[in-house]
Structures are given as structure tokens and as C-alpha cells.
Amino acid sequence: MNHPIPKPDQYQDMREALRDLCGSFDSAYWQKVDHERDYPEAFVDAMAKAGWLAALIPEEYGGSGLGLAEASVIMEEINFSGGNAGSCHGQMYNMGTLLRHGSDLQKKLYLPKIATGELRLQSMAVTEPTTGTDTTKLKTTAVKKGDKYIVNGQKVWISRIQHSDLMILLARTTPLAEVKKKSEGMSIFIVNLKDAIGNGMAIQPIANMVNHETNEVFFDNLEIPAENLIGEEGKGFKYILDGLNAERVLIAAECIGDAYWFVDKSRRYANERVVFDRPIGKNQGIQFPIADAFIETEAANLMRFKACELFDNNQACGAESNMAKYLAAKASWEAANVCLQTHGGFGFANEYDVERKFRETRLYQVAPISTNLIYSYVAEHILGLPRSF
């Protein structure tokens, strides 16, 4: 039977197949990995084996060559099933940088193995502790010496390193003082984590609010073979920006999956829970906030599919991708709040999953881009207001 939330659409066959797979990882599974701060290895393996995480890899490299719309449905369905796509979304989109800017040799070397899941490219190291959102001031350096680059510096909040074979690293190759524009002089590299950790790279896991494996990273004369440079030296920041629209839309889809999960969970509970001799959902004070959360989610969903359509037709979609991420992260957070309130005390009990999903969806107002930075993008690039930083 088709599920009423979200409404059936042109991706229904895909949704059904994903619901079959995701359905075998039930609420008890996600509660256990959350409780034990464990990595959902079996789930990620199953998703990779079924080919879902290779959706965006072209067929010539062993992927399914699907569009962003289909890829976003995959992320949405994971979260709508009660799971957390944050454990594996990097595997879907980090390879985009390699696909767009890597050499033929690099693509042939890595992409087919990423497509099968034999190699995991789950990590992307951009953020640094002292510079945060002000990325162009990052202090990690990569200095070319012969056929190697020597890397020194520090990163923070770098996710899934312990469950990845490869990591994309952004580092400065020309000092800030020597470039015309601050966005120039940074480069990206592919780091083989098995070789690097313990040989110039060290990690320190960060205990945090959600079950999200993320780390501090320290580089002390890490040697990277020069052939691991992706694209041209000095253009790394631009390459990272090129991948952001797809990332924003996929995260938006995760939020939409969460938001529909919260709305569905709320409406079911509101119909079942009887207090004062009637279902609590009979009270407008309960049903209106659920209706409001649903309306906001539907609106965010329209912007998400608008961004997908533009992206899949190779049209500019910076505004739509950012606005989809903004609307979806807001809708999922508001739906989470409504769901917790609808459940009363039971919302706090682990077994209902509400408190876990509430924590998980909160992240998306901060990472991978915080809401203020989306406001500033729209203000400057769409509305023509002065740049504020």
C-alpha cells in the first residue's frame, strides 16, 4: 500500500525498493547503534551492495548514473525509514569532486571501487578550529617537495574518517599573502587514510550530541604523493564550491525525510493516544501544529525538487539549493519540536525514537552550512545587498 506521507510520486518504484531494504533495519537497530555510539556498518554495507550509494557515479565507472533527484530520494527514504543518512551521505557525494576535477587515471583508479563500496570515500576535510566558516583563512599548508606534498596543520569536525579509506583534503599551497584573491592558492588532495594515520596524520574522536563519528585531525609532516593532487594546484577552493549545490540538496532531502517521519509519527500518536476520554489529535492545540509542520515540509519539498530539476538540466541552481537546504532544515526542526510535544513525556523515552531523531535533525541548522551563511548568500548573491564579511 502506498504511504500517504509523503504522497506517491514518479519515484514510487524506487521508494518501494528502498523501503524494503531500509525496513530490515528497524527502530531497535538504530536505537542500539545510537546507544552504543556504534557505526551502522551492516546498514551502510547493505546500501552499498545494493548500489544505492553509487547513484551519482556514471555507468562507465560502475555506478547507476542517476540524477540528483533520484539520489535525493535515496537520502530522503533513509531518514523517512527512521534511519540516519548522515552515516553514509559522504559516500554518495564526496566522489563528485573527483568525478568533475580528477584526471582520467584517478577516476579509473578510484571510481569503480567507490561504486562497489570496496573503497569508501566518506570524508572531506575543510573546517579548521581557528578559522571556522572563514574557510579562505585556513592554516593547513601543503608544500611541494619533489614528488610529494608535505602537509602541516589541523582540522576539526571531520566526519567518518574511521569508516573511510579515502579523504579529500583542502589545504593552502600558496600563502594567503601571495595570492591576488583569497579564494586562490588552495588545493585539494586525495588522502589514503590507511597510509596516512600514524604516519604524519593523527585523529582524536569528538564526543558529541548525536551518533556521528567525527574527529579532530592533526597533520605533522604528512607526505602525500604529488599524483594525489586533484585538478590544478591553487584551484581547490573553487572545486569544493562546485560540489556544494549537490551536497545542499541531498542534505535538504534528508531533512525532508526526517520532517515527514516526524509528521507521520505525530499523526499516528495523536490518533491513538487517549486523554480526557478522546484522542489527543481531536484537540486543535494538537492537530494544528502537526498540520503546520506538514505544510512547511510540503513547501520545502517543492524547493528541493525545483533545485534538483535545475541541477539535472545543468542550469544554475545556487539560490534554489541553498533555499531548499534552509527551508528543509527549518521544516524538519519545527516538525521535530511538534513531534516531541505531541508525545508528551513519551517523546523523551528512547524507545519512541523521537528524541534520537530530534537530536539528529538539529545538526542540519549548523552543518554542513549554518543558517546564517545561507541568509548571507541570499542577501548578497540574490538580493544584491553589500557583502557583510
Ligand X SMILES: Cc1cc2nc3c(=O)[nH]c(=O)nc-3n(C[C@H](O)[C@H](O)[C@H](O)COP(=O)(O)OP(=O)(O)OC[C@H]3O[C@@H](n4cnc5c(N)ncnc54)[C@H](O)[C@@H]3O)c2cc1C
Residues contributing to the site for ligand X (CB under 6 A):
124-127, 132-133, 157-159, 208, 212, 214, 363, 366-370, 372-373, 376, 388-389
Q: How far is the CB of 210 from ligand X (least distance, A)?
A: 7
Q: How far is the CB of 389 from ligand X (least distance, A)?
A: 4
Closer residue to ligand X (CB): 158 or 329: 158
Is the distance from CB of 338 to CB of 354 less than 8 angstroms? no
Q: How far apart (Å, rounded) are the C-alpha atoms in residues 156 and 83?
A: 25
**Cis peptide preceding 6, ω within 30 of 0:** yes
Q: How far apart (Å, rounded) are the C-alpha atoms in residues 22 and 13?
A: 14
Quick check: is 247 catalytic? Answer: yes
| The three grid cell numbers given for residue 28, joined into one nine-digit string | 531497535
Q: How far is the CB of 158 from ligand X (least distance, A)?
A: 5
Q: How far is the CB of 204 from ligand X (least distance, A)?
A: 14
| Cα Rg of the chain (Å, integer) | 21
Q: How far apart (Å, rounded) are the C-alpha atoms in residues 331 and 347?
A: 19
Q: Per residue, what are the HEC states of 211-277?
A: CCCEEEEEEEEEEEEHHHEECCCCEHHHHHHHCHHHHHHHHHHHHHHHHHHHHHHHHHHHHHCEECC
In this structure, the number of other CB atoms found within 10 A of the CB of residue 275 comes to 11
Instruction: Tell the residue number behind the cell numbers 599524483, with chain if given.
Output: 227
SS3 of 353, please? coil
Closer residue to ligand X (CB): 61 or 219: 219
Closer residue to ligand X (CB): 17 or 206: 206
Is the distance from CB of 280 to CB of 273 less than 8 angstroms? yes
Closer residue to ligand X (CB): 188 or 338: 188
Q: How far apart (Å, rounded) are the C-alpha atoms in residues 382 and 109?
A: 40
SS3 of 34, please? helix
Nearest residue to ligand X, using CB? 132
Catalytic residue among 247, 254, 355, 360: 247
Instruction: Give backbone dihedrals phi and psi of 152, rounded to 5 degrees, phi first.
Output: -135, 145
Q: How far is the CB of 90 from ligand X (least distance, A)?
A: 7
Is the distance from CB of 171 to CB of 140 less than 8 angstroms? yes
Q: How far is the CB of 123 from ligand X (least distance, A)?
A: 6
Closer residue to ligand X (CB): 185 or 368: 368
DSSP 380: I
Burial class of 86 by CB neighbour count within 10 A (0 to 12, 13 to 18, 19+): buried
Closer residue to ligand X (CB): 70 or 213: 213
Q: Which residues are catalytic?
A: 247
